[in-house]
């Protein structure tokens, strides 16, 4: 039996020094969708930390404890409200006040 010991993520605890030199921001990719007869363009970039063996690690940060004021679902761009369901949700957005 082989066990894969390659990490898939990196975690930045609060009050720690994060090595921003290992962060990679890929070139932006533009996506388009149509809504109400208009074509909308959205550009996004993949961001990750390059691991010791060249692997792309997802980044997670611990933040100070605060009351949040909203959690919203994230669906693929262009998904109508009627089409939004647990089957096609991609993630969540947490509204977190910045002091």
Domain-by-domain residue ranges, the chain?
7-62, 66-99
Residue that the structure tokens 């690690």 belong to: 57
All residue ranges of the chain with pLDDT < 70 are 1-7, 13-14, 98-99
For residues 53 and 6, the answer to whether their CB atoms sit within 8 Å is yes
Beta strands in 1-85 (DSSP E): 9-12, 23-25, 29-35, 38-44, 47-50, 56-61, 70-74
pTM over cut 0.75: no
User: What SS3 state is found at 72?
Assistant: strand
Percent helix / strand / coil, the chain, rounded to 5: 5, 40, 55
Q: What is the pLDDT of residues 30-51, one digit of tens each?
A: 988 887 888 988 888 888 888 8
């Amino acid at each position: 039996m082989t066990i894969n010991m390659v990490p898939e993520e990196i975690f930045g605890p609060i009050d720690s020094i994060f090595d921003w030199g290992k962060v990679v921001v890929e070139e932006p990719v533009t996506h388009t969708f149509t809504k109400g007869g208009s074509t909308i363009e959205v550009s996004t970039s993949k961001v990750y930390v390059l691991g010791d063996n060249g692997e792309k690690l997802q980044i997670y940060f611990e933040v100070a404890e605060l009351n949040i004021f909203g959690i919203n679902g994230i669906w693929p761009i262009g998904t109508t409200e009627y089409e939004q369901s647990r089957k096609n949700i991609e993630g969540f957005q947490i509204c977190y006040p910045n002091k």
